Every structure is written in structure tokens, then in C-alpha cells.
Structure 1
Amino acid sequence: MSNLPVIFIMGPTAAGKTDLAISLCEHLNTEIISVDSALVYKDMNIGTAKPNADELTRAAHHLIDIIDPAQSYSVADFRRDAVEKIDLFHQQGKVPVLVGGTMMYFKSLLDGLSPLPEGCPVVRAELELQAQQHGWPHLYKQLVEIDPVAASKMSKNDSQRINRALEVHRLTGKTMSELQQQKPARLPYTFHQFAIAPDDRSQLHQRIEQRFKIMLTQGFENEVSSLYQRKDLHPNLPSIRCVGYRQMWDYIAGEIDYDEMVFRSIAATRQLAKRQLTWLRGWPEVTWLTTGDEENLQRVVSSLS
């Protein structure tokens, strides 16, 4: 077994992950690595519940504020950057604490990623031209012949997935199904995995609603207004699709009123929390902690001994 420990603090939004991670930093020689697909964006602080100045003074957070909202950040990007940080902290004799709720990011560290090629604009354009001439069902028939396994998982009009599967085959000469079965060697770490959540779902819902209303008092509307004024940002970007941001964007655009924005934002955040909990219920080798339990810190610390 590896003697290189890595602590995971996972859980739904608003469950208290950051507080626990900071407490760990104040009791152990650790460094926090954010595992959150929204915290990577600069100028998106309030709506993402990014650690504030006081929290960052108590414990530095890595992999936050690293890209502009106009840019994209893939699971592969995260895995590369996280492994680099983990290895650096191990060399310094520190224990990396990975905290967040983006479950695909955590999964990429545990299971690795299949060696799919980067997208190629030229090949994608060629396929889109064929689709314009013959229709996506025609390209779907090609995919059925090339990769029936991948084709069985999508509809004949699923343009994005059909394009990607055919693109992969043209770039590599191998099917997407074949490449997805290839996994890299497991990382040489011992993962200590914890998930934190309230015992009562209604308590989590209350925390989510309360936190969003606090965000509103902190100036969330002004934050999104500044993003809205930029000519290079639009609702289809991953950054603007973040929970809360899309709803506030629609309000600023005049598409919904204020009360509807609040309602939709809270509802979308609750749906996110539900998806995160669904992931975690099927998660192997995870130890559950209860939000607010004073024994949480000791349980995590004890796992290292």
C-alpha cells in the first residue's frame, strides 16, 4: 500500500466542506486543493461561494482563480493540475486535502481517464458539412457500422455525440468504445475518502436557501452584471451555466423577474446537491460525516494513523 496519503472531503453544496478542510489545515501539515468546476473562474466569487479573504488567510486554496470565464477547463485539465499539486505537496512532506463537490474530478483521480484525443476543429467541420448535406441520421448509420457499442448509447439525432465518436475514429483509427476501455495506471496514493452532509435533507435545503440569500446581500447581482457587460461572454459558456449565474444572467437580460430568479437559483442549487448525493451514495470506500459534528475533525485525522 502507498504511504502517500491524500484526503478527499466530498459532499453536496452548502454541507460544510470548506470549514472542515480549513480546520484540518489548522491541525495538520496540509494543503487544500479545490475540486470545484466553478471555483476555477476568476471574477466569479460570490455566486461560487469562493473562500473569502479571511478563509484564505487561514488556509490557502489551490486551483481557484486560474482561468478566465471565457475559457474552458476540462476534467483532463483538472486531473493534470491536481496530480502536479499533489506530488509537489508530498515532496514538501504535506498531506493534500482535496475538497469540493465536482464528482467527475474526484473520479478522474480514482479511475483515471481514457486516452481520447483532443478535439480537432477541421475534422468536426468536415463532419458538420456532411450532416448539412445528408443529415445526422446518415452519419449515425456510419457510426453504427464503425462503433455499434457507442451508437447504441445515443440517438440518431444526437449531433454532438455522433460528431465526437466519428471524430475520434478519424483521428486515431480506433473506436471510442475501444479507447474508453483503456485506463492509465492507478495513482500511487492512499485515498482517505470522506463525505459530509446533514442527516436531514430539509436541513440541507435550508442551508442552500440561506446561503443564496446571503449571496444576494453580498452583491451577487453586481458580480453577474459585470460579467454580462463583457462582449465575449454568453449563456452557453460553462462559466455562465454555473448554478445561480445562469438564473441571474436571465434576470439581468430581462427574461425573468427577480422573484423567479431567486426561486430558480435555489431550485437549481438543490438539484445540484441531489445529484452530488446520488453520486456519493454509490461511491466505494467513503466514510460519511454529519454536518456540524464536532467529531468530524478527529475522525479524519485518525484515518491517517
Structure 2
Amino acid sequence: MGPTASGKTAVAMALARRFPVELISVDSAQVFRDMNIGTAKPDAATLAEFPHHLVDLIPPTEAYSAARFRTDALAAMAEISARGHVPLLVGGTMLYFKALIEGLAELPQADPATRAAIDRDAASRGWPALHAELTQIDPATAARLHSTDAQRIQRALEIFHLSGRPLSALLAASEKQRTAYQFTAIGLLPSDRSVLHQRIAERFATMLAAGLEAEVAMLRERYPLHAALPSMRCVGYRQVWEVQDGLLPRHDLRDHGIFATRQLAKRQITWLRNTLRPQTVDCLAADADDRVARLLGKTLI
């Protein structure tokens, strides 16, 4: 796992030359067909030599979820294991990693009417009063929330009103989804954030030179797309869409794309450090693939 531009694919291919592994993409953008340049999808020659599972699954008109990824990944892992190989999951969509490793709590979707009712109640009685109410309903969740944490108190109460079950019980149920696989988690993290930023800038410039704008134009012609689709909200595609719709000056495209990619990398690094907490390897090290191989070798040999 690692942020964008950390060299995950290169390391994965180096590992595939050394170990009996098969690669599974953990990338919420590479699941879309015909979205190649802006997703940094491996080219046809690379995919032929190093096949990636879970690439090019759906058209950009559809949506993909963490739950579907978990189902698809477990199926691919079972097939790979049956062949006597080891699944090697590679990517930067951290929610997908979390869903696979820890399971997914089946939480109800947000309901505007329920939230509005909770907000009215809070405006009348105050959030500490609603926190006290939550203590009676779900003491485990209330114990970890401050009495003025409006957003989380609201969500916990909303979940109870919609499902009839406390949030803590639903989260506990997700623990039962944990798989029998033993995971070795390795994160590629930069020792110097400025170098990663430079890589991001260079990669986005390369995408533009490779025809990212033409790719988006092709997608818009081939599919009935709109700006709110998950595919067109991917970094790079969203900025090009805005240029093509006249919402962003073309001369600002490069800077906006680089900034959005840097923000994505920042979120990915936060996920890695605060939530997933893998063993880490400096992605800027010249021997990063050797370092990862040594960590994996302890598990695979």
C-alpha cells in the first residue's frame, strides 16, 4: 500500500519476478474500463507479463463499492491460493484495504429527514443532552465521544433510529467478517514529502502529454457520463471535465490537477499512519523493492 506516485506498481512487478505471487489491484479508479491514462493503469504489455486482477471491471457509468471490492478480492484470492500462488494486493485505495482486512459494518445510509429531526432536537436541547440520550442507547459508542461532538453523536443516533441497533453492535458484527487469511501489510511511505510532490507533478504532466484531455473527450463521447459519477470525480478526470465544461481555465489545469493529487496523497498517508499502520518502507530508497522483498520473504519462505 502507498500514496499515489510512491512506486507501488514497480515494486509489485519486482516482487512478482522473485516470488510465486499474483497481483490484485486495490484501486477504485482502475476498475473502470477505458480510463487508462489518468488512472496510471499499467499498459497492455505490462498487464500481459504481470496480469492484474480487478482491473477493467466496469464501465465508467457504473459505481463500485468497498463491499463489492471485498467480495471480488476474496474470490480472486481464493482462485490464486488454489493455484498454489500467493495473492499480492497492490494499490492506494485505503478503504478497500480496511474493508478486506477488517470487514465492513452494514450501516444504513444517511437519511436527510432523520438528520434534520436530530438537528432540531439538538437546537432545542443541546448536544450534551443528546449525548446523554446516546449513553442510554449505546453506552459503548457514547463513552468514546465528547458530549459536544455533534457530527458523530448525530450519526450514532441516526443509525439507531434507522436500524434499531446501536452502532457499537453493528461494528462488532463486522469483526466477524474477518477472513482466515494472514495479512502482511507493507506501506510505501516517502522519507521526504517534497520529493513525492515532485513525482506527482511530473506524473501529472506526463498524463497531460500522453493525452488525458483527449481520453476524457473520448469517454464523454462513448458513454452517457455526468460530472457526479464516481468515475468522473477521480483526480485528474474531474479537473479535465471542468476545463471541458468551461468551469476551469485550461491554463490552470496542470496546477489544479497537481494540487488535487497532492491532497489525495496526503489523505492516503494519513490513512496509512493512523488507521492501517503497516510496516513501512521508504518509497524513495533506491532499494525499496529489495527492502519489501526481505519483509515478504519472511512470510513466503
Identical aligned residues as a percent? 42
The residue number in structure 1 matching 2:277 is 284
The structural deviation recorded for 1:260 is 1.1
1:103 and 1:279 in contact (8 A); partners too: yes
Query: What is the TM-score when the length of structure 1 is the normalising length?
Result: 0.80
The residue number in structure 2 matching 1:227 is 219
The residue number in structure 1 matching 2:260 is 268
Residue 189 in structure 1 maps to residue 181 in structure 2? yes
1:22 and 1:58 in contact (8 A); partners too: no
Paired AA for residue 286 in structure 1: Q
Gapped runs of 5+ residues in structure 1? Answer: 1-9
The residue number in structure 2 matching 1:6 is none
Q: Secondary structure at the match of 1:190?
A: coil
Residue 200 in structure 1 maps to residue 192 in structure 2? yes
Q: 1:245 to 1:140 in 2, by over 3 A?
A: farther
Q: Secondary structure at the match of 1:192?
A: coil
Q: Number of paired residues?
A: 282
The structural deviation recorded for 1:169 is 4.7
Query: What is the TM-score when the length of structure 2 is the normalising length?
Result: 0.81
Distance 1:152 1:81 in 2: 40
Q: Secondary structure at the match of 1:178?
A: helix
1:26 and 1:58 in contact (8 A); partners too: no
Pick the aligned partner of 2:204 from 212, 220, 225.
212
Residue 113 in structure 1 maps to residue 104 in structure 2? yes
2:31 and 2:56 in contact (8 A); partners too: yes
1:16 and 1:197 in contact (8 A); partners too: no
Q: 1:231 to 1:68 in 2, by over 3 A?
A: closer
Q: 1:232 to 1:300 in 2, by over 3 A?
A: same
1:194 and 1:288 in contact (8 A); partners too: yes
The structural deviation recorded for 1:228 is 3.2
Q: Secondary structure at the match of 2:75?
A: helix
Alignment RMSD:
3.1
1:202-247 per-residue CA deviation (whole Å, 9 max, x = no partner) reads 1111111111111111110011112334673222221111111111
Q: 1:177 to 1:235 in 2, by over 3 A?
A: farther
Q: 1:96 to 1:257 in 2, by over 3 A?
A: same
Distance 1:192 1:238 in 2: 30
Q: Secondary structure at the match of 1:97?
A: strand
Q: 1:297 to 1:138 in 2, by over 3 A?
A: closer
Residue 247 in structure 1 maps to residue 239 in structure 2? yes
2:186 and 2:292 in contact (8 A); partners too: no
Distance 1:193 1:179 in 2: 26
The residue number in structure 2 matching 1:295 is 290
The residue number in structure 2 matching 1:69 is 60
Gapped runs of 5+ residues in structure 2? Answer: none
Q: Secondary structure at the match of 1:254?
A: coil
1:23 and 1:297 in contact (8 A); partners too: no
The residue number in structure 2 matching 1:5 is none
1:182-202 per-residue CA deviation (whole Å, 9 max, x = no partner) reads 222431122122112343211
The residue number in structure 2 matching 1:104 is 95
Bigger proportion of residues as helix: 2
Paired AA for residue 38 in structure 1: A
Q: 1:70 to 1:140 in 2, by over 3 A?
A: farther
Q: 1:225 to 1:59 in 2, by over 3 A?
A: same
The residue number in structure 1 matching 2:249 is 257
Distance 1:83 1:231 in 2: 30
Matches within 5 A, 1:40-59: 40-59=31-50
Distance 2:72 2:242 in 1: 33
Q: Secondary structure at the match of 1:196?
A: strand
